[in-house]
Amino acid sequence: MNKTVYRILLMTLLLVLIFIADILLGSVTIPLSDFFEYLKGNNWSHPSYEAIIFEYRLPKALTACFAGSALAVSGLLMQSFFRNPLAGPYVLGISSGASLGVALLLLLFSGGFLLSVPLAACIGSLFVLIIMIWASKRFRSSVSLLILGLMISYLTGALVGVLQYFSRSEEIQSFVLWGLGSFAKTQWLDLQIMLPVLVLGLVFAYSRSKALNSLLLGESYAQSLGVSVKSIRRQLLYLVGILVAWVTAYCGPIAFLGMAVPHLVRLWVEESDHKITIPLVALTGACIALLCDMIAQAPGFDMVLPINSITSLFGAPFVIYYLLKKNRLG
């Protein structure tokens, strides 16, 4: 237990450091002395700096932090739920639902509709979530649910393809850009709605640790422990569905993080107790999302890179390396 506390403290410290670095770095180089001057109550050396820090970088860093946590924890929950290491937050077809919602808005209605993009994404993903919950009552095995999620992805993919074919290039551009994901879309006002939901979701996930642990041992075993498999399945579906829908609504589909972070944590701590893994996965997810955001800003360059490419481009080789190293040791 002591080791766990030490690890959580270590990750928290790391998170704070990365968070500060993320705010300090960007394509506009703000001198460090400016920060100290500001803390002393003096003005910034350029009038645009204040808005860049407080209106742009800070909300972005907070979004990255919580979106990373929520996606990573969702991935962990789904991997426990399906007892399948390939599962991730998107296996339920929720991101496909979101992209269908956004595609309908941007491509069919040319964006000139009453809804905003996050709302369309949210409605799309909740629509898929309702189908999944309906199906979960009928399907006995989790594998059928997994296949249903895949099928929904194919279906929505095909619909989105047809929509794209008949759309103008500008409309396709804005849709593709949405699909590349972004942490920078959120404002303080959005954060006021986004963060409480994500925090509640994460706390709720933590509170179900015991039931999740028993799920890992198999559904029949869980049942013999007195855990209602049916109700925990339902709860998990709702929880992951809402977490992922919420993140996707504000940031677009963020690839890779949700699937990979739980593996990273499992490679680091050989624990399957969710009481330990959930907080660690949440912290690691936040750290990695912030790191990716930092790389995406490409400090010193004039442009930014799409966050989705960064998460996969830098994340995948790292996980592969870690896997190889781990396997050699074991």
Partner 1 sequence: MRSVLAIILSFVFFSCQQQVKKGVVTSSKRIDSLEIHYATGFAVNYYEDHKELLVFSPDRKDTLHRYYLSNEVREGFIQTPVKRLASLSSVYVAYIEALGLEEYLVAVDEKDYIYSESIRKEMERRDMPELGSVEKINHEALLMAQADLIYSFGWQGNTTGIEQKYPNITFAYAYEYLEEQPLGRAEWIRFFACFFDKEAEADSIFESIKTNYENLKELTVDVAFRPKILINMPFKEQWHMPGGLSYSAHLIEDAGGYYPWDTLQKTNSTPIDWELVYQKAYDSDYWINTGAYASYAEVRKELPDMNLFEAFQNKKAFNNNARISDFGGNDYWESGLLQVDDLLADLIVIFHPEILPNSALKYYKPLADE
Q: Which chain residues interact with partner 1 by CB under 8 A?
A: 26-28, 46-49, 51-52, 55-57, 110-112, 116-117, 165, 170, 173-174, 177, 180, 182, 184-185, 187, 189, 297, 301-304, 306
Min dist CB 188 to partner 1, Å, is: 9
> One-letter amino acid identity for 89?
P
Cβ distance to partner 1 smaller for residue 57 or 208: 57
Cβ distance to partner 1 smaller for residue 162 or 324: 162
Closest-CA residue to 125 (of 74, 189, 61, 79): 74
Min dist CB 265 to partner 1, Å, is: 29
User: Which token pair is 10?
Assistant: 């270590």
Instruction: Give every CB contact of residue 179 below 8 A, 6+ residues apart in sequence.
Output: 99, 252, 253, 308
- DSSP class per residue in 153-171: HHHHHHHHHHHHHTS-HHH
Min dist CB 299 to partner 1, Å, is: 10
Chain mean position to CA 87: 14
Cβ distance to partner 1 smaller for residue 65 or 117: 117
Give dist(CA 124, CA 129) in Å, integer.
9
Give dist(CA 312, CA 316) in Å, integer.
5
Give dist(CA 266, CA 74) in Å, integer.
15
Distances in whole angstroms, Cα of residue 321 to Cα of each of 142, 285, 315, 318: 31, 18, 10, 5
Cβ distance to partner 1 smaller for residue 111 or 209: 111
Cβ distance to partner 1 smaller for residue 41 or 165: 165
Answer for the pair 97, 156: CB distance below 8 angstroms, yes or no: yes
Min dist CB 117 to partner 1, Å, is: 8
Min dist CB 73 to partner 1, Å, is: 26
Min dist CB 69 to partner 1, Å, is: 22
Cβ distance to partner 1 smaller for residue 191 or 319: 191
Half-sphere exposure of 119 (CA within 13 A, CB side): 6
Cβ distance to partner 1 smaller for residue 35 or 56: 56
Min dist CB 208 to partner 1, Å, is: 35
Min dist CB 312 to partner 1, Å, is: 18
Closest-CA residue to 306 (of 320, 315, 296): 296
Instruction: Give every CB contact of residue 35 below 8 A, 6+ residues apart in sequence.
Output: 24
Min dist CB 247 to partner 1, Å, is: 16
Cβ distance to partner 1 smaller for residue 102 or 280: 102
Give dist(CA 8, CA 49) in Å, integer.
34
Answer for the pair 281, 212: CB distance below 8 angstroms, yes or no: no
Cβ distance to partner 1 smaller for residue 47 or 226: 47
Closest-CA residue to 175 (of 253, 87, 283, 273): 253
